[in-house]
Structure formats: C-alpha cells, structure tokens
Chain A
C-alpha cells in the first residue's frame, strides 16, 4: 500500500445541486420527502469537511448519495471532475473502493460470527485480488497497526470481545483495506463512550494527514466539528444554510439557525448559569417544507421576504457563504439581524 498522499487540497469528490426526494407511501402519490435539495459540496484531499445540522436535515442522505447507495433525484456527483454514473459493474465497484462509508454503529456493522482476521482478510482479498500468503498476512498486520490496534492482541478476537472504540477501529481498518480516497463517516463516534471518542477522531485525523484521505464527517456535536474539521457545512431541512472554515462557523456563526445551534450546544463555561435560548418550535415538515427560507417559522428575525422568497447562498467573506436574507443588504424588505450578524462573536 502506498503512503503517498494525493496532492493536498485537490477536490476529490464533489456534489453539485445534489437532490433527493423520497416518495411517501400511503399518501397522495405526489407527496415526497424533500430530504436533500440542491446541495453543493466539495471534499478535498487531506481535508475534513464536517456536515452538521438538525436531526432529519438530510445529512445521512447526502453521505449515502455520495456512497451511491441509491441514485439522486437531481444533481451530480463528480469524482476528480468527472460525473459518476455507474450503478453497477466494474466502474461501480471501482467507485465503491474509492469512497468508503463508516457507520454510526460499530456493533451492527461487524458480523458477530467472524474474527477480526476474517473481516479484514476478506476486505483485502476483495480489493486486492492477487494478495495471499505472507503478503496478505503483512497487509493485515499493517491495517491493524494503522488503526492503532496491536495485531498480536486483536487479530483473532470476535467483535463481542472488543470495546466500542476497538470495534469502530476495526470498521475503519476494513474501510482502509480498499485504499479509499474518500471516507464518508456518518456519526462515527456518537455511539462511543466519551472517553474513547477522542481516540477515534484523532485516528481519523492521522489518516487524513498521513494518507491524504478526504473525509466527510457527519456529526451533531458542533464542538467536535471545530476540533476536527477544516471546514463546516451546516444543513437545515435539506438545504445548505452556511459554509465556511470551522473556526469561523463555530465562533461567529452567520445564519440564525447556526447561531441557535451554537448557543444550544452544551458549554461548561456557562456553569451554574445555563444558556436560555428561549427557542420554541419544532423541526419543519419535510413533505411540505416551509416556503421561502425553510427556517422562517423558527427564526426570530423572519420578515415577509423570508416567508415568500428563498434566500440563495451569499458570499460573506473568505470562503464563507450563508443563505439568509439578513445578509442581502440591498434587498428591499431584508430582515435586520442587528447585533446578531456574523461580525460579532456569539454573545450570551
């Protein structure tokens, strides 16, 4: 296996106008779930992109579309600039090698009757057909070492003999057997114990740096996005509402939803005086999403314009974009975000 990273910052995998509508069964035939609507994103070699957003906002659907687990309704997935169209056959298998998915539940993703040796040997054989004997054994040991598991101690264990963090490492090792250019990690640490989460994130970061892998990191934990991801992409109700470098997005969130998300996150610095966001309301229906800005029913700044016209992503500084009318200064009837605009540090 080569350890030469791809040229850093090259766009490896790209989504353009990615859209997925799921038909709703049992209701009128025209009903669809607007799971993802027109999402653009780029995964670059040696970089981590965090995808954050509320439950049901379409994050997993984006990852599954990128992994080609099902076809998109509209839009394109580009690998090194070329549209990915194969849905079966050799080209499809080659694509699956390139983009590997890591799931939330390390308990469900490993078959309980197989040892670590079996799981990894099988993955290596699928992706490197000629590999056998000593070369296979060496590749197996190298995989385990890559995920910081001592081969002698772990190679003959069954999943139930491993801790959650160790299982997730085995799942990552299995993905690495394909020598992927992209890892699509859907909440890879949320089922793990707090004390072992960091170890798995640090491992993924190490793989990013040493192998130059591009990583999509889906999470609910915006503090971990700040820690681990170069850039952060915020979704609300199937759409992108904000993107930028993780530090800016978390320290000076621009979109009112991102502001609510950051203020809602647990923060021990607010000890004894918990944040009161005063927020009310529920996530919107994805079958009949709100017109205009999808956040308007919960947005404290919503104006008439927000209720009727959809805000496009606007550039608001180096590498930052936000889809909120509050940043369209020249637009008549634009809402006034007042002190809440992104130039300000998020205040209490």
Chain B
C-alpha cells in the first residue's frame, strides 16, 4: 500500500505537546432533560468542558452517566424526548468570533456542522446502508460536502480515504456485509474524515471490536490526527485505554463532570474518589499483581438523585456535608497540583464547606497522592 511508508514515518514523529492549542469547542453549563413532569430525568446537569485544537479529549464514565447525551446535545443531534434545558456550546472558527451552536438558525447550522464536527456514533458499524456499495456511500458523503466536485474526483477521494484507514481501495466495490466488523467500523471513520473535520467525535468507536482490531484502528486514528491535526473527543468506558491515548480526560458521573485533568494526572494523581475507584477497578496487565475491589454499590438512579454529592452512597471519604451540599468543579486542594485541573468533591472544596457551616476537613491521603 502506497501510504504505509508515510504512515510509518508519521509514527516516528515525536509525541504532540498536549493542551497547548486554543479552544475549538467550549461547553458551558449544558443541561439536558429526558421526558416531562414526574418522569423527567436530568441526564446532564450543568456540564462545563473545553476542547482545544488538536487535542485528544477522553470522556469516561459508567453506562448511563450521560456521555452520549453530552455529544448529541453539543452537536444539536439530540432527539426527543431529549431537551436542552440550559447552557451554550461555543464553536471557535479558525477566523472570526465564536458562535453558539445551540442558537444558530437551522440553515446556518447545516452549513457549519458537518464541516467542523464529525461524529462516529456508538454502534456505527451497523449503520452502513446494506444495499449500497461502500464506495457509493463514501462518494455520496463527499458530494454533500463538496457539491462542486466531479465524479472522478469523488471516486479518487473515496479510494484515498479507504487507504487512510488501512483498507485496500479495491474494497470500494464491496457491500457492507462483505466486510468484517472492524472494516465496517473503519469505513465509518473514513466517512467522518471525508468531511475534513476540525473536531472528530467518536462514541465508543471500538468497544464492539476485538482487542487487536481495536488497536489497529486506534493506531490509524492517531496517525491521521498527527497528520491532519483535528481534535478528537473519544468516549469509552475503558479508562485504561483512555489513559493511553488521551491528552486530557473528563470523568463523568451521574450527568456531571466530576474530574477534568491531564491523562497523566488522572492516572497517577487522581483527586476524585470515583476516579480513584475506577483506577482500582481494572487489573494491571503488567507489574505487580494487586488485590482489587472495584467500587461498592452501583450508579444512582438518574430519576432519583440524592440532594448532595451523587457519589456519596458509594464513597469511602464521605463527610456529613456530602449528604446536603452539591459539589461543583473547583481547583484541587493539593499544593503543587496543576492549577487548571478541576474536581467536584467537597473534600477539595473548603469554601463550599465553610459556606455550609460544616467543619473544615483535611484532604485524605488517598486523594492527594503526589
């Protein structure tokens, strides 16, 4: 394959400098409800999150914590009964003022959305149309994106895209059922790349795949990212995978971001009790074998969230105030920590404790590992 050489050369480039770019997407106070009246579920409760240029942002958390809801809402693809209750999503174009995607008129949105942000959905590999050849589905996407291109140009571009994701260009003639699951998933990634996005959002893109195939696809995505410079939002419940590939990780719990920090900090210096629990939930492949306990209990019912911290029932560091005061994202209370990292835990929030008249507490050693 002609591109293999380029890709190998790319792979030898030094790793990127994380977090340096300027913001591309800024999510502010985003809140989403499902349903109405007594059956209403607050699926997202005031999420703040910023994606920078060229960055890989990982989004992790248990099933039902709101990861998919977040990206659907932020791209305005949320379907009923989902409803955006509050918040803004600022998109920073390459030139000009930021725009609030949630307030764009439909025609303005159509003009901007696909060009700037591409999505690979959860379970996407099953969403190829079974009656059309892979090539036709790619060229249709390219035609929508570049209406003035010629047929020959589109064909050529489709071959190039397949090559990019490591599929032989002859496969352009294949029907989806003639491809393995891993290949179909890579075709979906090629379709997203056909839009030349600045932001590529992938919701569990590899979860259904085999470990070896997952690694092959991730390698391709990372090489393309290094070469084309798009920013990535990568959603998965596999924290060990995220730590490996992401620059920054946002940990979600019960519809909120509870920790937002560099991948290295999340792994070696976790500050939220839930992050600590997650890190003790997967056994290490190498190094000393350790006894592991997981996290006791199970995630809360999103329809009946407790008043205080949503993690309080499962938390080993709970204090009385946690039952009544709802923690918000603040800087950590550990001297020497990266000032830009954030955590939503009262054990780090002296101001909130004082405001509630609760006694001052130390940060437990387990939440202050250096």
Asked if A153 is at the interface of the complex by the 8 Å CB criterion, the answer is: no
Please give the distance in Å from A223's CB to the nearest CB on chain B: 4
- Chain B residues with CB under 8 Å of A197's CB are 281-282, 294
- Chain A residues with CB under 8 Å of B244's CB are 266-268, 270-271, 274-275
Please give the distance in Å from A20's CB to the nearest CB on chain B: 20
Asked if A222 is at the interface of the complex by the 8 Å CB criterion, the answer is: yes
Interface size class of A (residues with CB under 8 A): 35 or more
Which of A262, A277, A278 meets B8, CB within 8 Å?
A: A278
**A196 contacts B211, C-beta separation under 8 Å:** no
Which of A195, A228, A278 meets B277, CB within 8 Å?
A: A195
- Chain A residues with CB under 8 Å of B183's CB are 282
- Chain B residues with CB under 8 Å of A282's CB are 180, 182-183
Given A223-B282, A269-B286, decide whether A166 and B216 contact each other with a Cβ distance below 8 A.
Answer: no
Interface size class of B (residues with CB under 8 A): 35 or more
Digitize A77-121: 1 where CB-to-B-CB distance is under 8 Å, 0 elsewhere.
000000000000000000000000000000000000000000000
Which residue in chain A gives the minimum CB-CB distance to B239?
A194
Q: How far is the CA of A224 from the CA of B263 in the complex (A)?
A: 22
- Chain B residues with CB under 8 Å of A195's CB are 62, 277-278, 281, 294-295, 299
Asked if A308 is at the interface of the complex by the 8 Å CB criterion, the answer is: no
Digitize A180-198: 1 where CB-to-B-CB distance is under 8 Å, 0 elsewhere.
0000000000000111111
Asked if A22 is at the interface of the complex by the 8 Å CB criterion, the answer is: no
Asked if B166 is at the interface of the complex by the 8 Å CB criterion, the answer is: yes
Given A55-B209, A261-B211, A265-B211, decide whether A196 and B298 contact each other with a Cβ distance below 8 A.
Answer: yes
Asked if B240 is at the interface of the complex by the 8 Å CB criterion, the answer is: yes
- Chain B residues with CB under 8 Å of A150's CB are none
Asked if A264 is at the interface of the complex by the 8 Å CB criterion, the answer is: yes
- Chain B residues with CB under 8 Å of A202's CB are 292-294
Digitize B179-196: 1 where CB-to-A-CB distance is under 8 Å, 0 elsewhere.
011110000000000000
Digitize B234-261: 1 where CB-to-A-CB distance is under 8 Å, 0 elsewhere.
0001111101110100000000000000
Residue positions of B touching A, CB distance < 8 A:
8, 11, 15, 18, 62-63, 166, 180-183, 209-216, 218-219, 222, 237-241, 243-245, 247, 263-264, 267, 277-278, 280-287, 289, 292-296, 298-299
Residue positions of A touching B, CB distance < 8 A:
54-55, 163-166, 193-199, 202, 220-224, 226-228, 250-251, 260-280, 282-283
Other A-B contacts than A194-B239, A197-B281, A262-B285, 6 sampled, CB-CB below 8 A, are: A163-B298, A193-B63, A220-B210, A223-B282, A261-B212, A268-B244
